[in-house]
Amino acid sequence: MNKQRAARLDFRQRAGGRLLRLLNPLVRRLIAAGMPTGAPNVLLTVRGRRSGKPRTVPVGMVELDGRMFVQASYGESGWVQNLRVAGEATVTEHDRDMQVKAVELPPDEAAAILRRTLEPYRRSRLLRALLGPRFRPPIGVLSRYRIRIDDTPEEYLAEARRHPLFELRRVTSAPSG
């Protein structure tokens, strides 16, 4: 992330990002060992856009109507840029690997998914006040704990523009002939 972009992040985003960077190695080990993390986390392995090396990061995943989604809760991070370029990844959950094709949803479609996923849950004004006007936990975490922060379609659209949402579609291998 360049310095201009970092300067635009608010304190909560910077602090959250630093905390996650510290915890990610531990969370990666917990997920790889099949241990619970308190969130719907999976490991997402994506080929680096410059190095070509596989990069693995824990991400929160949510399932809705048999579809899988991951959200870039810290915006345009490295894994987001790598996933855009690669268009495919490996998801590791409970010691099982799954090849997926990643499709970034346009903001209006992403906003509808976010709203539909969180609509049944209670709205937390306290959490919204603590997190500020721009920071949101990943949709998987909010869904797990049955909390929503945003209410209006405009709020969900703003969230989708700041934090891209990817649909992960399972890749099925062709039958051998």
Specify if 177 maps to a domain: no
Domain-embedded: residue 175: no
Question: What are the backbone angles phi and psi of residue 50, rounded to the nearest 5°?
Answer: -105, -45
Query: Which residue bears the tokens 């308190």?
Result: 38
* 32 located within any domain: yes
Residue 147: give the domain boundaries: 8-170
Tell me if 176 is assigned to some domain: no
Confidence (pTM): 0.80
Planar angle of CA 113, 27, 171, nearest 5 degrees: 50
Residue 1 lies in a domain: no
pLDDT, tens digit, 9 for 90 and up, residues 10-52: 666 666 667 666 776 767 777 776 776 667 788 899 999 999 9
d(CA 144, CA 80): 22
User: Per the domain annotation, does 35 fall within a domain?
Assistant: yes
Average pLDDT estimate for 127-149: 83
Contact status, residue 8 vs residue 43, Cβ threshold 8 Å: no
CATH of residue 50: 2.30.110.10
Tokens of 18: 């630093």
71 has pLDDT over 60 = yes
Overall number of domains in the chain: 1
